[in-house]
Amino acid sequence: MQDNKDFLGTEPIGKGVTLLMQNKEDFLGTEPIGKLLFRLSIPTVVAQLINMLYNIVDRIYIGHIPGNGSLALTGVGVCMPIIMIVSAFAALVSSGGAPRASIYMGKRDNQSAEQILSNCFVLQIVVSFILTAVLLIWSEDILLAFGASENTISYAVDYMHIYAIGTLFVQLTLGMNAFITAQGFTTTSMISVLIGAICNITLDPIFIFGFHMGVKGAALATVLSQAVSTIWVIFFLCGKKTQLHLRKKYMHLEAKVIIPCVTLGLATFIMQASESVVTVCFNSSLLRYGGDIAVGAMTILTSVMQFAMLPLQGIAQGSQPISSYNYGAKNADRVKKTFRLLLTTCLTYSISLWAAVQLVPEIFVGIFTADASLVDFTAPMLKIYLGGLFLFGIQIACQMTFTSLGKAANSIIVAVVRKFVLLLPLIYIMPHMVSNPTTGVYMAEPIADIIAVLFTSVLFSVQFKKALAEIQK
């Protein structure tokens, strides 16, 4: 938990609740932006990296199950696109609700912000029950459609049935934690994730090997870990440290409250949910042209891409409370300064990482495999696949700022153009445009990224000026 010093960067005030709360909120509107962005981004980046540990640790332990570890690992791997979709539904609600809550906080309207928080809480419970029912009833059919075979389907179903029961905890942990971040409590939101990761790392070997539960043990460890994180998050949002509280009187769905949140969250939902669609399209095309080794390489490429994106996403999420709060407070100068600093930071990181990938791709590939033949095949493909990474800092900075300012339509347009208008068609077009079809499939990603960045930059330059003009009237 954070004390007053954490919020204000000064000694505790201790002169009354009203003054304390005012100062707690003012730090987003008064503290130097560079210092503020650093303070909010670091815990968010760490939280992103920790969150990744859930899947990595599960895969490491499952892969070492005696006798059938490889089949079990493959079966759980088939579950990953479904898990991504479940997480996307959490983002559908929270990634729109949290920025809107921050905007109302900037307007000094905490009542409306708490309405949003409580409505989103109820909606995520409803969504989780629907998802649980769907996964329990149709999980086998869905898993077979996503690539499970006769040899792996039993492991995939075992994992998914238990994971489905814990969907409520996944939704609430991911969804409600966004509202903690939106208030500037990034250290607290990091702790939420850290608690779950520690529990998962501890429980995995106990259930998998100690109780001989195998894949079921891995799923149970994940569910229980998320449950612990959920309890932590809810206690915080009902406690004394938070600025926004879950209120029973607002815990009923109101269309005027929830629809704008869902609309704004659609962009993030599309980005996350479409990853599973893109994965299936990539794998089917690569299997056709390059066989199993090309599909195996793709697993590594996407893993490196996800790993590379985590710091960018963490930095961008750290900027969200600052941009949203000051936009709501009609402080255009701080909104501009926040974006400029975010853009510079993201672009510096993406260029540096792109250069490292181009110079030593083998190091990045070697993190995920020790197979020499796979490394030799994947390393040059990684240079192609991440060829547009140097510009991606612009994409992330612009897209997050769109979301932070509540510009739902622009966020959705950017997400749809990159994934559906550009990337998906290029996956099937590029193999016919170059001499090596397999290489052509990998080329789809950088081409889509570069065109998307150019489109986003033009759209952002126009819409950002309009947004600032609105609050300067």
Residues 230 and 331 placed together within one structural domain of the fold: no
* pLDDT higher than 60, residue 11: no
How many domains is the chain built from? 2
Distance CA 47, CA 6 (A): 18
Which distant-in-sequence residues (6+ apart) come within 8 Å of 147 by Cβ?
A: 78, 280, 283
pTM of this structure = 0.74
Instruction: Report the chain's C-alpha Rg in angstroms.
Output: 22
- Mapping DSSP to helix (H, G, I), strand (E, B) and coil, where does residue 132 land? helix
Q: Count other C-beta atoms under 10 Å from residue 59's C-beta.
A: 16
**Final residue before a domain boundary, out of 220, 253, 286:** 253
The pLDDT tens digits of the residues spanning 231-279 come to: 999 999 999 999 999 999 999 999 999 999 999 888 788 878 887 788 7
Range with top average pLDDT, 141-145, 275-279, 296-300: 141-145
**Residues 277, 199 share a domain:** no
- Whether 151 and 72 share a structural domain: yes
Same domain for 359 and 473?
Answer: yes
Q: Quickly list DSSP for 412-465.
A: HHHHHIIIIIIIHHHHHHGGGTSSSHHHHHHHHHHHHHHHHHHHHHHHHHHHHH
Same domain, 179 and 302: no
353: its two tokens:
């990482």
Tell me, what's the pLDDT at 353? 93
Q: Which structure tokens are listed for 288?
A: 């056709």
Tokens of residue 322, six digits: 């600052």
pLDDT tens column, 168-220: 998 999 899 999 988 888 889 889 989 998 999 899 999 999 998 999 999 99
Same domain? For 41 and 185 the reply is yes
**In this structure, is residue 259 part of a structural domain?**
no
Position 57 scores a pLDDT of 75
Residue 260 resides in a domain: no
Shared domain for 249 and 331, answered yes or no, is no
The rounded distance, in Å, linking the Cα atoms of 230 and 239 is 14
Domain assignment present for residue 400? The answer is yes
Residue 349 has pLDDT above 80, yes or no: yes
Phi, psi of 81 (to 5 degrees): -60, -35
94 neighbors 120 (Cβ within 8 angstroms): yes
* Residue 214 Ramachandran class (φ > 0 left, ψ -120 to 50 alpha, else beta): left
Q: Is the pLDDT score of 340 beyond 80?
A: yes
Same-domain status, 84 and 193: yes
Quick one: pLDDT band at residue 54, thresholds 50, 70, 90? low
Residue 362: both structure tokens together:
């083998």
| Chain-centroid distance, C-alpha 195 | 18
Q: Please give the backbone phi and psi of residue 212, each rounded to the nearest 5 degrees, phi first.
A: 55, 40
Does 286 lie in the same domain as 246? Answer: no
Please report whether residue 168 resides in a domain: yes
Q: Which domain holds residue 163?
A: 25-253
Residue in 304, 346, 313, 310 with CA at minimum distance from that of residue 442: 304
Average pLDDT over residues 130-155: 88
Looking at the structure, do residues 222 and 272 belong to the same domain, yes or no? Answer: no
pLDDT, one tens digit per residue, over 371-409 is 788 889 989 999 999 999 999 999 999 988 988 888 878
Rounded to 5 degrees, what angle do the CA atoms 210, 215, 218 make? 65
Where would I find the H helices in 208-254? 215-237
pLDDT, position 4: 39
Query: What are the distances in angstroms from CA 291 to CA 295, 348, 374?
Result: 7, 36, 12
Query: Vertex 240, ends 234 and 246: CA angle to 5°?
Result: 40
Question: Residue 104: how many CB atoms within 10 A of its CB?
Answer: 22
What token pair was written down for 166?
């814990």
Q: Are residues 37 and 163 in the same domain?
A: yes
**Is residue 6 pLDDT above 50, yes or no?**
no
- Asked whether residue 231 falls in the same domain as residue 368, the answer is no
Task: Name the least confident of 280-294, 340-354, 416-430.
Answer: 280-294
